[in-house]
Amino acid sequence: MEPSNLLILLIIQVSSTFLLPINAATAKSALFREYIGAEGQNVTLSDVPINPDVEFHFILSFAIDYTDSPTSPTDGDFNVYWDMDNLTPSQVNSIKAKHPNVKVAMSLAGDTIGDGHHVFFKPTSINSWVRNAIYSITEIVRKYNLNGIDIDYEHFKSDPDTFAECMGRLLYYLKQNEIVAFTSIAPYEHDSVQPYYLALWQKYGHLIDYVNFQFYAYPKGTTISQFMRYFEKQSSNYRGGKILASFGTDGSGGLSPQNGFFTACGMLRKQGKLHGIFIWSADDSKKDNFRYEKQSQDFLASK
Ligand SMILES: *[C@@H]1O[C@H](CO)[C@@H](O)[C@H](O)[C@H]1NC(C)=O
């Protein structure tokens, strides 16, 4: 090959390598996320409708640094507690192969384990927790071919600075070594929870891609204007963050689709503040045939 032709070929290859991912990313700015697998409903990834015009994240729920019998914390050594019969590594690979817009993450901790025991963040030391977490999470991510991680501790036997340091160092390692591509946190409005996530955000917010704020943890019957105020408040708490709008299909609180959730999302979108929507959870939506998953993705895909 002539050197000049070779040069042109190189330029074409280099520019397509750089340009294609950018185009692909801008084409799917609408993000839909859904927690799945925590409630033993035998729900599978292929049960959930997937709109090709959104970026879709499944969040497997949960990996927990606990062990069974007796139920006790393990200082950062995570085990899989989602529905392992129905959410397997081969199903993760097959849903991703079938739907190029799908990525799969896992969430850490959650509210309870077994028959209602609270899951506590209870490290022995920062160093030991981080070491164990890096090792065990890397194993799970590789086994299941996961793309991201979500942090959802809701109960603490530790102080906010220790929590921030453990999570921050974990996220730094996982991103720096490209073990995961994206990260999120899942706080809610409560004095026993927010100080931990705000401490994490203050020091390590640059490592967190999305804030899965649990707006469904507000009281039932939340109105559109209350929701808009809550959204503003959390946007200033997690300043510069991509705060996602959310609701539950489990009969929990917050602004429901029936009471105007999508009207509120339309207002946020007009203001340029709608970064995406997430739902808790696929397990609860199965009985209604995922009608709100469809509606959410149709809403996000329509401009
Ligand atoms: C889930 O599947 C298992 C095994 O087939 C079955 O025993 C169980 O009753 C199912 N649970 C639900 C909620 O469908």
Of ligand 1's listed atoms, the one at least distance from the Cα of 42 is: 1
Rounded to a whole number of angstroms, the CA Rg of the chain reads 20
Catalytic, 34? Answer no
The residues facing 33 across adjacent strands are: 57, 278
What is the tens place of the pLDDT at every residue in 205-255?
A: 999 999 999 999 999 999 999 999 999 999 999 999 999 999 999 999 999
User: Residue 291 CA to chain centroid, in angstroms?
Assistant: 21
Active-site residue (options: 34, 55, 154, 165): 154
DSSP labels, 57-95: EEEEEEEESEETTTTEE-SS--EE-S-TTTS-HHHHHHH
Instruction: Count the neighbouring beta carbons within 10 Å of the beta carbon of residue 15.
Output: 10
Report which protein residue has its CA nearest ligand 1's atom 10: 42
Pick the CATH number of 31-301 from 3.20.20.80, 3.30.420.40, 2.60.40.10, 3.30.465.10: 3.20.20.80
Query: E strand or H helix at 106, and its extent?
Result: strand 102-110
Cβ < 6 Å from ligand 1: which residues? 41-42
Say which residue the tokens 């408040």 belong to.
Answer: 233
Report which protein residue has its CA nearest ligand 1's atom 6: 42
Q: What is the pLDDT of residue 115?
A: 87
Interval between CA 118 and ligand 1 midpoint (Å)? 24
CB 25 within 8 A of CB 70: no
Number of H helices, E strands in the chain: 9, 15
Query: E strand or H helix at 105, and its extent?
Result: strand 102-110
Phi/psi at 125 (nearest 5 deg)?
Answer: -150, 165
Q: What is the pLDDT of residue 14?
A: 46
Q: What is the pLDDT of residue 303?
A: 76
Q: What is the pLDDT of residue 261?
A: 98
Q: What is the pTM of this model?
A: 0.91
Interval between CA 290 and ligand 1 midpoint (Å)? 19
Best of 39, 41, 42 for a ligand 1 pocket test (most atoms within 8 Å of beta carbon): 42
Residue 6 CA to residue 285 CA, distance in Å, equals: 55
Report which protein residue has its CA nearest ligand 1's atom 12: 41
Using CB atoms within 10 Å of the CB of residue 146, give its burial: 0 to 12 exposed, 13 to 18 middle, 19+ buried.
buried
Of ligand 1's listed atoms, the one at least distance from the Cα of 40 is: 13
Residue ranges, the chain, pLDDT below 70: 1-29
Report which protein residue has its CA nearest ligand 1's atom 3: 42
Q: What is the pLDDT of residue 21?
A: 44
